[in-house]
Structure 1
């Protein structure tokens, strides 16, 4: 190891980057770049302000070499069609081809008593830094995840005109993208992400994401720099949302760095909920110290709860260091007061999660990364996490072949109430769990990846400090489907995490027996493909399943965004071979098959027809998946995580919305199946069940069960008041006989509803059921319907759309709402729908609230189309 563990924490003192400092800003515009092959001069010369950049091109920072090349139109969009095949792969070109200089001119001066710091929040993989003709990095830093910080006060120009030059080198070992999971596996020799060499859901990223991929920050402080604050909240006992609360305990510590040659005495303090806690300290010259502030018992705190259980309340916390009445440095945090624990459920033999003393049934997602080329924005993070909130999920797992997610991701999860399980960087595929002929090295060698264990530990400790204050962070995980090497895992688990965090459960790998006893053998996760709906209810899988997935192709509008016209050909299923004939571009984008599951809806006519029928299957798959697990909560299961809910490129599998943030029916099927108080049909035995995932007893819920035929005629199947205890599920009655009789000829519709005492619908679940032959024969002969559509602008970018189906009509089935440009009729993205793919009963009205971006001065229009509803466009009225 290059770095001994004993020296780890000493080294980390110089690697801290602030969350939100008193006076800081990003260097995110005005960069220029050039490949090293075109630059013969040294960094000392390039970084001199007078050096000419005439032949250089604009560069994207934060970004990668590919994002800069794409910006300058030197490569085609790698996410479209087969364009990725036109881009040279680094394994073939050699590393110099993707080794780049990045240069930025900026204005900054240090006044008397000021210190100026240059922070890099992520560079892949190694780099050198030059400023104003001086080399700042004495050794070449390595590691994709390790933050770096440099005091540049003395290197700044007196006139304030500065030139920063950074040369970035790719990983030493880039691996061959040979079609395996992580290619030949050797990408894992680095402390970096692994998917860039290709996976079963993505093609290889040709530069392996070489570049200054995360933020570059200039920070100005006084003599003392406040960094790496640590906030711990303790909430003893069993709490309920909305109640007057017993006190919560808050513990705060922080590091203080004195960059001057004299000792500094001052006061470090924090303020939260109107309470201030302080401590006077002396920081030695050129020294760093950690300060523990006095504990605070906060009376009647507002607690942070996961989505579906209560408000995800966040307190602003201001921390500062003051010397002689002058603020030297200050940071602001958003603090969620909560306590998270994990205990083994003896009945299921799996972990169950408690928040503020209450057990939470985990309805989780697996997340790769927001964008495969690392083009992160606050707005995209917000949209994606909001989609997950809208699916009624309560946890997101960050997969180990990718990243430690960015603070902006965690800020969105804090806001929307999503718990997070954060993997460290390893996978069973690359790191040796299985024999794999695609891999360059054997399992014995791969089990010791990465090459530099000390760098891994150093990076892990730094990333823990970066995200540990977020309320949403609930669990740490050693790796994806495999433990880390023992001399990494044991120090991480037994020393680093207890010292730097100490409040969260560490699971050694994602499908470990510690998380979920895998009594069925195998890997403890899956299946990953499309399933018969009854299987989700009748087939028992692992009690805390970390990965289970299905299909996820978008509609034709989504597909046309990245499929060339000549490849807009749907897969065709052959019942004789039981295989689909798939276009090569679909296959390149990792299409996962619908197999025979579209056939009951009739022969596929074209891609539009394929996309339309795929949405019916999408909705049913994910609704039934979540309902199947919910049907057995606390009996078979304590939780599950869907593999996966999003794609960071234009893939054709496992996604609730596409790369362009356009939701498909998966999202709304999952939203339905995951709602906190939910009435549903057990697809294995046709039993009506009710689940209550709240902490409150649900009294006086009117259950209304109604069958509809294809002409819209209704038959009552029962109506009665029911009650449900908190965090429980139970069967109510069987509809097996009624469904068999009424669906026999051409199928049927089934409406299951719960209404409160004010007759307000609190759960609305609408099924379409096949005929006696397993076909949806009645759907093909449904009479057309034209619902009445009314719109009302509620606020800028927010509209209420009311749909009304007249009495005597058939059901207006499976209607997709969109917000589109009034001229081009192209969908605006992202748009957030209160509900979508809605069906209207005869004589029924439904109102859907929609929020959309207002980037144009011209008001968009609402688009509506359904199974038996022709497309129409409706103006948005005041």
Structure 2
């Protein structure tokens, strides 16, 4: 097979709509793969959509029709077939070759292949892709198939386009078009590999790969030789005459098992398939592992536990959204950066959320290599979907394409039917509005699981998230299956997390602003306030700022000034999520996983993310790293009082003594005890505290400290900060130059709670190794700051950079 990529020489121009005159008159160079927004940006015709109020000013882009064109030379040849392969068009498009329409597409999530051999000319050829306005196309389709409920502004559920490209409660409304994946000519004769699916199983020490092959023929009706290699094992077979498929079984003796991060290594085996000698080849990698989703009834409900190679795994997860609104900008290097940040935070699973995309191959390959589990939603989110034509065929085609593409990846451990649609049908007032219209149940209950069973069969499928296993139950029942917790944040304080005893939490979250460097790069409001225009445009959640302030009220004084507001809301976000995760881990194995919303952002915005839209780590990221560490101490209320809970998410037993002391804020020890504990590998144990430790004489000025020597510390404050006697900051600092930047030593003269060095406020490239450190009087911490900037000591130790909760009770006088 000869492949010729058609990525060069493209232009794009507006052909309908109401673009500005300079755009209407322009034909600009286009990048393929790419999108029209980034083409216009590169041509200097629009401002950066992510800055200030530009999102609002660029709504015309999504309401315009666009035409991409290129020319290419074709030398001709003797091949029986020449296919135009369109791996990703976003979204409603007409494809023309030499003036003839060869394809009409309506789905950005699937591949289209068209035989164009008869239309090609020796010499110059012209290829064009005419894109319909995505906003108008969605509006028209919604009217044609029947309006159905959805969140946000546009009826994204009427076409098969990335839902969040139309805006979400963390994302901008920047509906784009473009050739977002490769486009090529593929010339071939005889036969080609239409699909290859290596299906992995494990039998004792043997790894088994059933290589399922689909073949398309062009003139060769006889037997076709077929060779499959896995590692150093080769099996020869044939595709029988007239047949279009075959299965080759390859057995690897003494196969090394692939494990999730923290549980073992990730050996990968190369797989190669050759058809007809040299007609066509396919290559990929597999890992040998088994995966089970254990949903078993017990006396407290129904479990939802991932079991890998026979071992239950506590999921320390995060939800993943597209890392940019303009997908061509998410390179392998950018995927690698986010995956590294996830792993460094202790995360072992990423859930690819159903309002985005099936991610690029690079994402899954990197997760395979690093042992990061992947939960993959099918792309249905927060809406009702038509089950009739023309949508049904598109859904089936995209599911078949992507199950086939992703089935080899050992990191992928779950197919999930949808995000919140079953819940929405039950609780969001849809049923009366639908008035009998289909809403997607047939996809989630029948079509998608049947495609998974046919093309995969090696990993579990869940109908939705949340889902309570039995369709007769309410879909978000905490006692059964997976649940989402959103009354916390939307209506209730984060301490309500402790009222829940879920079996598995696949979404929960709390908002906070991006880092200061990201915020001020994106927004130039003067003055910059929580309610200035740019800040509000970069806050997409319904009543988001009100919820931020309401969420502060039980815990911290209401801040004055943007600097304190920014710090207080970042701090509260970190505390809220740490609070929830510590509780969920403390009730393991009853609860078998917590998947926080969310790890990443697609632009600079106030959101639930731990890593902001410029790739900077928020305080939440450091909180996740602490509470997702393999061995965790936490102080938790229990029926008899307080307890130290020891979570041991490691393969070795953990035993010793935990030193627990009740201390005054001035550092004096009031009561203490050394309590033995023993936690099995992958186990959790609770140690009740003696009453004298837990009864504070003055709750406003005392705390509990639990420590395991050489391991870690947990603290418990008897009163919220706003009601406590937390002292004014008394910090002494010393700054020393290092090879990578600076070492900032901070010593506390008085109790310092959640001490944090916001390094990006000193230099945009600066990053610190630790945040949210609580120091007792006399204790010190060294913050390692990496930066290329030349900084003086004051830049790293000033009031607005070296932050603590104490400052919010003792604000600086202007």
Contact conserved, 2:200 with 2:458, CA < 8 A, in 1?
no
Q: Aligned runs of 1:795-806 on 2, under 5 Å?
A: 804=745
Normalised to the residue count of structure 2, the TM-score between the two structures is: 0.82
Q: 2:105 aligns with which of 121, 125, 141?
A: 141
Superposed CA deviations along residues 490-542 of structure 1, whole A, max 9, x for unmatched, are 552453221111122222221222179744699953225446454323x0254
Match of 2:21? none
Can you list the C-alpha shifts for 1:379-410, whole angstroms capped at 9, x where unaligned? Answer: 22222222222222222223323322332222
Aligned residue number for residue 295 of structure 1: 250
Return closer, same or farther for 1:844/1:603 CA change in 2, 3 Å cut-off: same
Q: Does 1:413 align with 2:371?
A: no
The answer on 1:128 being equivalent to 2:94 is yes
Whole-Å Cα distance in 1 between the matches of residues 355 and 570 of structure 2? 29
TM-superposed CA distance for 1:166, in Å, is 2.0
Counting only pairs closer than 5 Å after superposition, residues 267-286 of structure 1 correspond to structure 2 as: 267-281=225-239
| Equivalent residue, structure 2, for 1:456 | 395
In 2, the alpha carbon distance for the partners of 1:156 and 1:860 equals 60
Q: For 2:755, which of 804, 807, 814 is the aligned residue?
A: 814
1:604 shift after superposition: 2.0
- 1:36 pairs, out of 15, 18, 24, with 15
- CA–CA separation in structure 2 for the residues paired with 1:337 and 1:819: 43
Q: Which residue of 1 aligns with 2:565?
A: 610
Per-residue CA deviations over 1:551-605 (Å, capped at 9, x if unaligned) read 2223433321222322521369xxxxxxxx9974455576352235545544523
1:661 aligned onto 2:615: yes
Moved more, 98-107 or 547-556: 98-107
2:764 aligns to what? 826
1:690 Cα deviation (Å)?
A: 0.5
Q: Report the Cα distance in structure 2 between the residues aligned to 1:548 and 1:535, rounded to whole angstroms.
A: 12
C-alpha spacing 1:840/1:35, structure 2 compared with 1 (3 Å): same
TM-score by length of 1: 0.76
User: Counterpart in 2 of 1:786?
Assistant: 733
In the TM superposition, what is the alpha-carbon distance from 1:546 to its structure 2 partner?
2.8
CA contact (8 A) 1:202 1:589 kept: no
- Equivalent positions of 1:349-748 (< 5 A) are 349-375=302-328, 376-427=330-381, 429-431=382-384, 448=387, 451-483=390-422, 485-489=440-444, 491-493=446-448, 495-514=450-469, 518-519=476-477, 524-527=483-486, 529-530=488-489, 532=493, 534-537=495-498, 539-566=499-526, 568-570=528-530, 584-585=536-537, 587=539, 591-592=544-545, 593-598=547-552, 600-635=555-590, 637-682=591-636, 686-694=642-650, 696-705=651-660, 717-719=672-674, 721-734=676-689, 737-738=692-693, 741=696, 744-748=699-703
RMSD: 4.1
Q: Residues of 1 paired with 2:87 and 2:485: CA distance?
A: 35
Q: Distance in 2 between matches of 1:819 and 1:313?
A: 38
Q: State the shift of 1:808 in Å.
A: 7.3
1:782/1:117 CA distance change after superposition, 3 Å: same
Q: CA deviation at 1:669?
A: 0.9
Cα 1:533–1:197 change in 2 (3 A) is: closer
User: Does structure 2 conserve the Cα–Cα contact (< 8 Å) formed by 1:181 and 1:430?
Assistant: yes
How do 1:196-215 residues align onto structure 2 when only pairs under 5 Å count?
196-205=165-174, 208-215=175-182
Match of 2:290 in 1: 339
1:8-30: per-residue Cα shift (whole Å, max 9, x none)? Answer: xxxxxxxxxxxxxx976755554
- How far, CA to CA, are the matches of 1:449 and 1:542 in structure 2? 36
Stretch moving more, 327-336 or 473-482: 327-336
Task: For 1:609 and 1:63, locate their aligned partners in 2 and report how far apart those are by CA, in whole Å.
Answer: 40
Corresponding residue for residue 183 of structure 2: 216
* Aligned counterparts, 1:93-172, within 5 A: 93=63, 98-106=64-72, 117-131=83-97, 133=98, 135=100, 137-151=101-115, 158=122, 163-171=126-134
Residue ranges of structure 2 left out of the alignment (5+ in a row): 19-23, 423-438, 804-814
Corresponding residue pairs, total: 760
Alpha-carbon distance in 1 for matches of 2:578, 2:687: 19
Please tell me whether the aligned partners of residues 150 and 157 of structure 2 are also in contact (alpha carbons under 8 angstroms).
Answer: no
Distance in 2 of aligned mates of 1:562 and 1:164: 38
Q: 1:730 to 1:721 in 2, by over 3 A?
A: closer
Q: Please give the per-residue CA displacement for 1:351-396, whole angstroms capped at 9, x wherever unaligned.
A: 2211111112223322332223334322222222222222222222
Task: Output one character per residue of 1:610-667: Cα deviation in whole Å (capped at 9) or x when no partner.
Answer: 22223322221111111111111223x2333323333323331211111111110111
Give the secondary-structure state (helix, strand or coil) at the position aligned to 1:36: strand
Judged with a 3 Å threshold, the aligned counterparts in structure 2 of structure 1 residues 312 and 712 are, in CA distance, closer, same or farther, namely farther
Tell me, in whole angstroms, the C-alpha distance in 1 between the residues paired with 2:792 and 2:678.
Answer: 39
Measure, in 2, the Cα distance between the counterparts of 1:844 and 1:449: 66
Distance (whole Å) between structure 1 residues aligned to residue 667 and residue 615 of structure 2: 35
Q: Report the alpha carbon displacement of residue 769 of structure 1 after superposing the two structures with TM.
A: 2.9
Distance change >3 Å, CA 222–CA 810, structure 1 → 2? farther
Label 1:491 to 1:739 Cα distance change in 2 as closer, same or farther (>3 A). closer
Show CA shifts across 1:836-876 (max 9, x none). 44456677776788889xxxxx788799857979669xxxx
Give the drift of 1:249.
2.0
3-state DSSP of counterpart to 1:652: coil
1:251 to 179, 196, 210: 210
- 1:297-312 pair list within 5 angstroms: 298-312=252-266
- In 1, are the aligned partners of 2:506 and 2:594 still within 8 Å (CA)? yes
Secondary structure of 1:679's partner? strand
Determine helix, strand or coil for the equivalent of 1:615.
helix
Q: 1:338 offset after TM fit, Å?
A: 1.2
8 A Cα contact 1:193 1:403, kept in partner? yes
